[in-house]
Amino acid sequence: MNSVIETILNHRSQRSFLPRPLSEDQIKTIVESAQAASTSSFIQAYSIIGITDPGKKKALAELAGSQTYVEENGHLMVFCADLYRHTLIGELEGQDLEASLDSTEKFMVACIDAALAAQNAAIAAESMGLGICYIGGIRNNLPEVCKVLNTPDRVIPLFGMVFGYPDQVNDKKPRLPFEHVYMEDEYQQSKDRYLEQLKDYNRTTSEYYKERTGGKRSDTWTSQMAHMLSAGRRMYMKTFVQGKGLNKK
């Protein structure tokens, strides 16, 4: 196993950091790594906003559900799907790009582009001995997040990422079984086999929580998911994204 794969496989979300900021060099390397990722047809439909202002950091931490690690870390970035740039390209080139920019296809492309860049950022940071955590919580209240970040139309902040020097090492959570996620030639056709795999995985996650909590917790993955999904969180998203001029057509 080479050191790259070692870094990748060693990932765990880090939610507690030493009070030591990242250096400018580290931030630059992380962003350059993000930019080196593939981008759909070279569209580069994302932006990254680094948060240095303590007031803004505090505001984002509150909006993300009062998670202290969003405020207390070595650095916080917000990754945005961004087709504002391409709106301006329409002006610059005197061409009507509206139908394309309004489309679900281009919204997907922008989400994917931002995520590819972010994952490069995550791996680069982890290779430097830093810990990271994605902050999906900013999607709890995107209208307010957009105000804090002063984003124009066709820019959607998708998630934050916190970086920092870890002050403790977390366990790695067991993922779905390999053969459940990776299939050959077509999608797995046996529903019974599929459900069996989920039940197997439930035993694994249940064991994992039991071990970690000395038996206090033993929830299964499917019960966690059902609980989370039954709540119907962030149901404003469709209207919000369309109001920003994306995912409309």
Q: Which of residues 189-208 bind a copy of itself (CB under 8 A)?
A: 189, 191, 194-195, 198
Min separation Cβ 46 and a copy of itself, Å = 7
Q: Which helix (H) or strand (E) holds 106?
A: helix 104-127
Q: Do residues 206 and 219 touch, judged by C-beta distance below 8 A?
A: yes
- Cα–Cα distances in Å, from 118 out to 59, 67, 82, 96, 195? 22, 20, 14, 30, 32
Distances (CA, A) of 15 to 37, 71, 125, 191, 225: 25, 11, 14, 37, 21
The contact mask relative to a copy of itself for 55-94 (x = CB under 8 A, - = no) is: -x-----------------------x---xxx-xxx-xx-
State whether the Cα torsion 212-218-220-223 is positive or negative. negative
Nearer to a copy of itself, 96 or 215 (CB): 96
CB of 203 to a copy of itself, least distance (A): 14
The binding track of 94-133 with respect to a copy of itself, each residue x by CB under 8 A or -, is -xxx-xxx-xxxx-xx-xx-xxx-xxx-xxx-xxx---xx
Report, in Å, the least distance between residue 96 CB and a copy of itself: 7
Report yes or no: 91 and 152 within 8 Å, Cβ to Cβ.
Answer: no
Asked whether position 171 contacts a copy of itself by CB under 8 A, the answer is no
Distance in Å, CB of 237 to a copy of itself, minimum: 4
